[in-house]
Each structure stands twice: as C-alpha cells, then as structure tokens.
C-alpha cells in the first residue's frame, strides 16, 4: 500500500518496480475506463426496455460499490482504495459543476411565466403533497433507523422532502420523447410543470444546505444565526448574479455572436472561468458549489448562438466522461446490504409508496380539477414521479453534511431508482389500449368529402437534415412546380441525451411547437439551423407564387423518426415524401429512410444530392448516346433555342409502377423553361442460343407492359418538349446506367426503385436486388464507390398497406389521420 500522506501523481513505470495502481493518475485512468465500460454496457442492456441512460449510470455506480463488486476487499483495495476517493470525487465534482451549469443553461425562466396557471398549479401541488407526506416519513425514519436521530429534524425533513417531491427534467424529456408524448397535452403539461419544479427544488436544496451547515463535526458554531447568515448571503449572491452578471453576459453573448472566432474563444474561456468562480463563491458562503454554477447558467441568454456554442464545446466531455464518475462515487457510498432487516425493507416500501402516492395522487387530483381527462391525469402523475441525477445530488449533499446516514442514503437511492424505472412501463400500460385523448380526432364523412373537394393541388412532404442540402432541394422543388403546390418542409433533428437536444425541445415549446412542431404559414422563430432551413424555403415560396409553404421541426430518436414522418404524411394527406440522402449521413439516418420506404402510405422519392443546379453548366454539346448507336430518338426536332441555362435531367425508364411515377415527375419538369428532360428507355435484348432470331423486350413485368406503353404514348402527346431515346442493352445494365451517371451530360438522373423481373435476371442477382435499399439501379447510382457526377432521384410508387394504419396524431387544423389506398396523381 502507498503512503497516503505522500501520494504521487504518476509512476516511473512497471519496469522500474513501480505499481501504477499505487499512483493517483494511472489509477484514475483505470477507474474511468471501468466506469465508462460498465455504464455503456448497462445502457445497451436496458435499451430494449426503453429506460433512460441515468438508470444505467446509477446501477453501474451501485454495482461498483460495496453492494456488489465492492464486497470483494481485493477489488476495493486495488481499484477503489480509500486514499483515491477524494481524487475521484474531486474530478467528478468538476464534471458535476459544469453539468449543473448546463442545467441552468437549459432552464428558461421565461417559460415558467408562459406555462399557464394549470401547469404551475400542477407543479405546486405535485411538490407540496409528497413534501407534506415527507413530514410523517421523516419522523418514522428518524425513530427506526439507528443513528439518524443525531441529525436535526428540520434538516432531515428538507432533504427527505426534496427527494420525494423532485422531478428530473432532462430524464423526463427523454422519456416523453421515447414514448412519443411530447406532442400531447400530457407532454406539454409535464414539461412546463417540471421546469417550475426545477426552480423550486433548487431553492429548497439551498435552504437544506444552509440549515445543515452547522451539522458537521468540528464547526465553531452551530447556532441558527449561522443558517440565517448563509441564507441571506445566498439571496444577495442570487441578486448580484441576476442584476449585475446577467446584463454583462448578455453583452458578452452579443459580442460573441457577431465577432470572429478569436473573440469567440476568449468569451467561452471567460464563461468557463465564471462557472468556477461562481462555484467558489457559493462554497465560500456555505452553500454547495454546484448552486453557484446553476445560477450562473441561468444568467446566460437562451436566444442567441452563444448558448449553443457553449453546449457544443463542453457537453460531450462533461456528460460522456466526467459525469459517470459522479455516479461511480455515489455508488461507492451506496451499500444496499445495509437494508437487511425486515424493518429496513419495510421502510424502503414505505418510502416508495409515499413517493408514488404523494406525487401520483396529488397530480391526478389536481389534473382532474383542471379538467384534464382521467387517463391523462394519471399518466401525468406517473411522469412527474420521475427521478434522476438531481435527486442523487440532493442525497449526496445530505450524506456529505451527515444529515443522512448509510442506511437512509441507500433507502432513498433505491427509491429514486425504482420510481424512475417504473415510469416508462407504467405510462405504456396506461396508453396500451388507447392513445392520449387529445391527439385522437375523429371526423365525419362530410369533412372527408370537403377535404377531397379541396384536394386540387399537389402536396409534397420534404424531409431535411440541415442547411447543407437545402439549395439543391429548392432547385428540385422549383423544377416540379407547374401548378399550385403545397409544400410541407420537415427539419429532422436527432434527439439524444445531450443538453443541445433538450434545449431544442425547450425552444420548440417556447414558440408553441412541441416536439413535432405544428405547421404554421409563417413558421416559428427558429435558431441556427432551424432558422436557416425555414428562411431558405420561405424565400423560395415568396419568389415562386405557386408554392404554399408550411414548415416544422421534428425532434426524435432515430429509431422512431420514421413514425413522425409517416404521421405527418398521413395527417396532411401528401402524395409524395422526398427524403434527402447525402454520403455524409450515418447509418442511422439511412435506416430512417429505409423504414419510410417500407411503410410509407404514399409515394417516396429519395434525393441523393450532388449539387443539383449549383454546379457549372455541363457541356451542352456532349451526347451520352452517339448517333451511330443502336438507339432510336423520337424527340421533336423543332426545339426552341433560348439563352436560358438548361438543367439537363435524365429519366431512366425500365418499366413498372415506380418508373411510371418517375415519368410523371419528368412531365412536370418538362414544363419548366430552364429544364431539359430526356427519357432514356432501356430495351433488353435477349435471345436463345438455339434460335438465330433475336428479339427485343422491355425490362418490365409482363403484366405492366401495356401500362408502360400507354405511359410512353401519353408522355409523347402531352409533353413534346421531352426527348425520348430508346437504347438497346445486350448485357451489363448496371454498367450502362453507371456510365450515364458518370458522364457530365445530366445534372439529375431520375430512376424508379422497382425490381428486375424474375425472367430477366439470375436468382443470385434477384437476391441482391431484394436487399438493395434503393433497388439495384438506385443503389448503383447512389453509391459513393463509383465516381457518379450527377444528383439522383430514386422514386418508389405508393405501396398498398397490408392493413389499415391506426389513428395517428392529428394536426391542430383537425385533418383526420387515416391510411389511404389511393393517392392523387402528380400530374
């Protein structure tokens, strides 16, 4: 064992006889690796149960402590020796300090004023009832648990009451998102009440710390006057931060948003130093240092870019690396084996029952009085009973101040774990047979008829990942406008455990657009990427008078993002969904596209962006198919020559419903003065080696051949501007298509997603075609392995649903949500 009075930070190495585990820094590295591995493993293990990340982190800390692995004395001796505890806790406290700064940064005080009387009433009753119940529980706990009577009743009541009545806002937001409840009345009410709950909890925590200030040993004074001075000093600190520091940080935020990156670096360093200084001041006063960091976070303006830059710089390092160390240090203090007697387990059941009864019953009753339906009121009570890191902080401070002993600490930690774990399955059980009442809207047949009568314009839903793909998408949309178009733009944002995701949810609520924001003509006041996307499409709609625009932001996990897209597609009765697919997108986003393609109730087009309409004009005289080839052109020879730069678009027609849908898009584009459309019909030449006669056959399903011919004839009649080329393909269809994509003739290639007919390909190739996400031809053109120069639009015709889809969330305008077996034509 090392001499604990002379601990060194680093060793000289094993080759010189030093054991790295006897030195502070190598041991801290090993502890961090172990904590991260265990917490991530448990997160993956609990993911199918849809449990929040905090459950895994709390469990990981408990498993490392004396409740499980820590029961092995050799493990504790080498991995978590007693001399390393202050070092681990110091590093973890730095992470906690900055995490509470992020919590303050997330919390918008103005949202409490906007949340309405019902939300404030629910929050007040939801906190007051369990806190009142805590009076009796505290009395029983102090009488039964040995050694607990040494702490003051008032101090113990504050910590027990806060732990029973608190609601963890970040954990609640994640659970609501996982359960798809953020769009509902329940979700909005829970989020608003949790915001108020956060503020009240921190006020009570500051009170508890002030009252417990004289409870430690070796204090020179423990008179009530000390607590009063601590409270007054805390109030003066808050007043100083709000009246002096807040205007200063507003000025810093404005300067940082408008100045170059060098000043941005200085502003961020100044802010991080401010976090540390605020923590030092509250610790100096006698309140825990995290309170100062939280208050400093409240002083940062929420509306500008500065808050987003701060979060981007520190959230991954704090939440991903340092914060799990705090859970580990808490787990090392949690000894579940202290709850061994029958009395102790009875106390645990009493605490859990009291917490659930106070929070759930109190919220349920006030919800009913506020005329919220019984089912939603019950779900709201369960959601408000969610615990998390904030409660763990409260309990750790109580143990640090010696208000809570080991047994009482373990009981309250287990209560927090159980109440959070039960939230997701309980809410799912409540809504098992029926969706939340306010999102189901029925409609009479007369309204359906009325909606159909108004269905005289094309409706398209465009899904955007960010500003990068917007210019090309705008060029694509404008190429399709030859009649009134109703365009719904959905900005897709991944919801994660990061603070930036939580801030997006809060910002959406601030503007009245929760989760999947309601569509509005002018659009909400978005920030950063949201604002850029909305502004770009808004400008395009103003320039082009035929476009009626509605835009929104969908914040969701990737595993359920497709549900939001399909909900909006059905609610708005769109005839086509356009998805963006860039090479920089990860596998998760491509899976979202794949799920939409499999389950969409309408046609889907996947747009592979390679700068459509943004690249230098292609060589106008370059021809892909030479005049002496086996092609036959049926285009009109009287094309009008203008000086307008033409965007050259190619449609590859092989036959089938998907390719016929691609022809409809081509016909719309052909009416644009700046678009030149060429339809290349590929003809499969097949033959029998025993027969010298050769014949041509289109690559289409036999039953669709007449429809294919009819579509081509109709295209010739209605769009004389379209050039039709028939090209015979003897072998190498994929190579032929790839050559078209690699040429510099066309800026956009449109192709149907359809399968190859069984009679035309081998079983091996058919299997590959079945597994291709965009079809064999679509995947060949979208692949980054080949130098494809043009953008690609892969079209899938509407698929008939095997069974009617259930009623889905309806929009505020009252459009019903049903599955349709027909869609309006694109032409």
* Model confidence pLDDT, tens digit, residues 24-80: 999 999 999 999 999 999 999 998 888 888 899 899 999 999 988 988 989 988 999
What's the farthest any 2 CA atoms get from each other in the chain?
A: 111
Q: What pLDDT was estimated at residue 413?
A: 92
CA–CA separation, 172 vs 588, rounded Å? 24
What gap in Å lies between CA 619 and CA 301, rounded to an integer? 52
CA–CA separation, 323 vs 29, rounded Å? Answer: 15
- In this predicted model, what pLDDT tens digit does every residue of 601-641 receive, in sequence order? 899 999 988 888 776 544 443 333 333 333 434 443 333 44
Mean pLDDT, residues 632-661 taken together: 67
Give the pLDDT score at 788: 82
Query: And the tokens for 678?
Result: 């060429």
Give bridge partners of residue 677 from the DSSP assignment: 649
Nearest partner of 734 among 624, 654, 626, 629, judged by Cα: 654
The burial class, CB within 10 Å (0-12 / 13-18 / 19+), for 668 is buried
Whether the pTM exceeds 0.85: the reply is no
Determine the pLDDT at residue 4.
Answer: 55
Cα Rg of the chain, angstroms: 32
- The pLDDT tens digits of the residues spanning 721-761 come to 788 888 887 767 788 888 888 887 888 999 998 755 434 44
Residue 169: predicted pLDDT: 77
Higher pLDDT, 710 or 541: 710
First to last CA, the chain: 82
Q: pLDDT-derived band of residue 809, with 50, 70 and 90 as boundaries?
A: very low
Closest to 8 (Cα-Cα) out of 87, 94, 90, 91: 87
Confidence of residue 528 (pLDDT cuts 50, 70, 90): low
For every residue of 391-413, which 3-state class applies, written as one string?
A: HHHHHHHHHHCCCCCHHHHHHHH
Decide if pLDDT at 328 tops 80.
yes
Q: Which helix (H) or strand (E) holds 250?
A: helix 246-258
What is the average pLDDT score of the chain? Answer: 77
210-214, 310-314, 343-347, 371-375: which range is least confident on average? 210-214
The residue among 225 and 113 whose pLDDT is bigger is 225
Cα–Cα distance between 601 and 16 in angstroms, integer?
A: 70
Quickly state the pLDDT bin for 428 (edges 50, 70, 90). Answer: confident
Per the CB < 8 A criterion, the answer to whether 196 and 119 are in contact is yes
| pLDDT score at 446 | 33
pLDDT at 637: 37
* Phi and psi angles of residue 752, each rounded to the nearest 5 degrees, phi first: -75, 150
Residue 54's nearest CA partner among 337, 392, 315, 290 is 392
pLDDT score of 825 = 35
With cut-offs at 50, 70 and 90, classify the pLDDT of residue 320. Answer: confident
Strand partners, 520: 551
**Confidence (pLDDT) at 611:** 82
For residue 581, pLDDT over 90 is answered with no
* 115 confidence band (pLDDT: 50, 70, 90): low
pLDDT at residue 595 above 60?
yes
Alpha-carbon distance of 352 to 417, in angstroms, equals 10
pLDDT score at 462: 92
SS3 424: helix
Tens-digit pLDDT profile for residues 752-802 = 987 554 344 444 344 444 445 788 888 888 877 767 888 899 999 886 544
For 197, the token pair is 């709950």
The whole-number average pLDDT for the span 98-123 is: 79
Instruction: Judge contact between 505 and 516, C-beta under 8 A.
Output: no
Is residue 469 very low, low, confident or very high in pLDDT (cuts 50, 70, 90)? Answer: confident
Percentage of the chain lying above the pLDDT 70 cut: 74
Question: Average pLDDT for residues 262-290, to the nearest whole number?
Answer: 88
Average of per-residue pLDDT across 79-108: 89
Confidence check: pLDDT of 685 > 70: no
Q: What is the mean pLDDT of residues 131-143?
A: 90
């Amino acid at each position: 064992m090392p001499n604990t009075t002379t601990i060194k930070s680093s060793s000289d190495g094993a080759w010189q006889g030093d054991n790295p585990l006897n030195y502070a820094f190598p041991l801290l590295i090993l502890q961090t690796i172990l904590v991260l591995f265990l917490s991530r493993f448990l997160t993956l293990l609990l993911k199918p149960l849809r449990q929040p990340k905090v459950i895994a982190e709390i469990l990981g800390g408990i498993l490392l402590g004396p409740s499980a692995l820590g029961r092995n004395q050799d493990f504790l001796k080498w991995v978590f020796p007693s001399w390393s505890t202050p070092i681990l806790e110091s590093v973890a406290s730095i992470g906690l300090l900055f995490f509470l700064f992020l919590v303050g940064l997330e919390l918008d005080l103005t949202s409490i004023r906007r949340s309405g009387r019902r939300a404030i009433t629910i929050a007040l009753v939801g906190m007051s009832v369990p806190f009142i119940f805590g009076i009796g529980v505290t009395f029983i706990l102090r009488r039964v648990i040995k050694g607990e009577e040494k702490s003051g009743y008032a101090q113990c009541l504050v910590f027990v009451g806060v732990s029973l009545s608190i609601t963890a806002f970040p954990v609640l937001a994640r659970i609501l998102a996982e359960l798809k409840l953020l769009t509902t009345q329940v979700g909005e009410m829970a989020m608003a009440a949790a915001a108020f709950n956060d503020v009240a909890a921190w006020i009570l925590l500051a009170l508890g710390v002030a009252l417990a200030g004289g409870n430690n040993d070796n204090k020179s004074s423990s008179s009530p006057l000390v607590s009063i001075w601590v409270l007054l000093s805390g109030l003066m600190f808050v007043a100083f931060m709000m009246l002096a520091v807040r205007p200063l940080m507003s000025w810093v935020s404005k300067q940082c948003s408008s100045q170059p990156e060098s000043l941005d670096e200085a502003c961020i360093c100044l802010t991080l130093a401010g976090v540390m200084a605020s923590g030092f001041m509250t610790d100096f006063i006698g309140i825990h240092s995290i309170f100062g960091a939280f208050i400093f976070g409240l002083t940062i303006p929420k509306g500008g870019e500065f808050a987003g830059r701060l979060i981007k710089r520190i959230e991954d390092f704090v939440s991903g690396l340092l914060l799990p160390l705090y859970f580990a240090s808490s787990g090392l203090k949690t000894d579940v084996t202290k709850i061994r007697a029958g009395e102790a387990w009875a106390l645990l059941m009493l605490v859990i029952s009291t917490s659930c009864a106070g929070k759930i019953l109190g919220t349920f009753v006030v919800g009913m009085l506020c005329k919220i339906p019984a089912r939603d009121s019950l779900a709201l009570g369960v959601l408000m009973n969610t615990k998390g890191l904030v409660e763990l902080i409260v309990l750790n401070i109580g143990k640090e101040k010696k208000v809570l002993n080991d047994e009482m600490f373990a009981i309250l930690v287990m209560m927090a774990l159980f109440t959070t774990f039960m939230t997701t399955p309980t809410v799912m059980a409540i809504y098992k047979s029926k969706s939340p009442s306010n999102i189901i809207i029925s409609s009479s047949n007369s309204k359906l008829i009325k909606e159909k009568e108004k269905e005289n314009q094309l409706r398209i839903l465009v899904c955007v990942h960010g500003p990068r793909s917007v210019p090309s998408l705008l060029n694509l949309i404008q190429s399709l406008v030859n009649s009134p178009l109703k365009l719904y733009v959905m900005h897709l944002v991944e919801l994660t455990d990061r603070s930036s995701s939580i801030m997006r949810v809060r910002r959406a609520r601030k503007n009245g657009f929760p989760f999947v924001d309601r569509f509005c003509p002018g659009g909400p006041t978005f920030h950063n990427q949201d604002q850029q996307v909305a502004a770009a499409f808004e400008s395009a709609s103003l320039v082009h008078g035929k476009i009626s625009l509605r835009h929104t932001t969908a914040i969701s996990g990737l595993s359920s993002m497709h549900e939001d897209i399909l909900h909006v597609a059905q609610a708005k009765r769109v005839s086509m969904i356009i998805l963006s697919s860039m090479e920089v997108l990860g596998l998760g986003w491509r899976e979202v596209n794949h799920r939409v393609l499999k389950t969409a109730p309408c046609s889907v087009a996947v747009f592979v962006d390679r700068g459509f309409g943004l690249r230098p004009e292609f060589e106008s005289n370059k021809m892909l198919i030479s005049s002496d080839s086996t092609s036959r052109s049926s285009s009109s020879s009287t094309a009008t020559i203008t000086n307008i730069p033409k965007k050259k678009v190619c449609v590859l027609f092989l036959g089938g419903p998907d390719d016929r849908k691609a022809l409809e898009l081509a016909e719309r584009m052909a009416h644009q003065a700046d678009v030149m459309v060429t339809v290349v019909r590929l003809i499969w030449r097949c033959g029998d080696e025993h027969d010298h006669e050769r014949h041509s056959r289109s690559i289409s399903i036999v039953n669709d051949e007449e429809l294919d011919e009819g579509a081509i004839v109709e295209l010739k009649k209605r769009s004389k501007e379209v050039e039709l080329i028939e090209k015979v393909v003897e072998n190498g269809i994929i190579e032929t298509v790839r050559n078209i994509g690699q040429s510099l003739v066309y800026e956009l290639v449109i192709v149907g997603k359809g399968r190859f007919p069984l009679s035309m390909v081998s079983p091996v190739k058919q299997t590959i075609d079945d597994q291709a996400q965009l079809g064999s031809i679509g995947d060949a053109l979208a692949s980054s392995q080949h130098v494809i120069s043009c953008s690609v639009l892969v079209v899938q015709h509407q698929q008939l649903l095997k069974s009617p889809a259930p009623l889905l969330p309806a929009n505020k305008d009252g459009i019903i949500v049903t599955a349709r077996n027909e869609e309006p034509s694109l032409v």
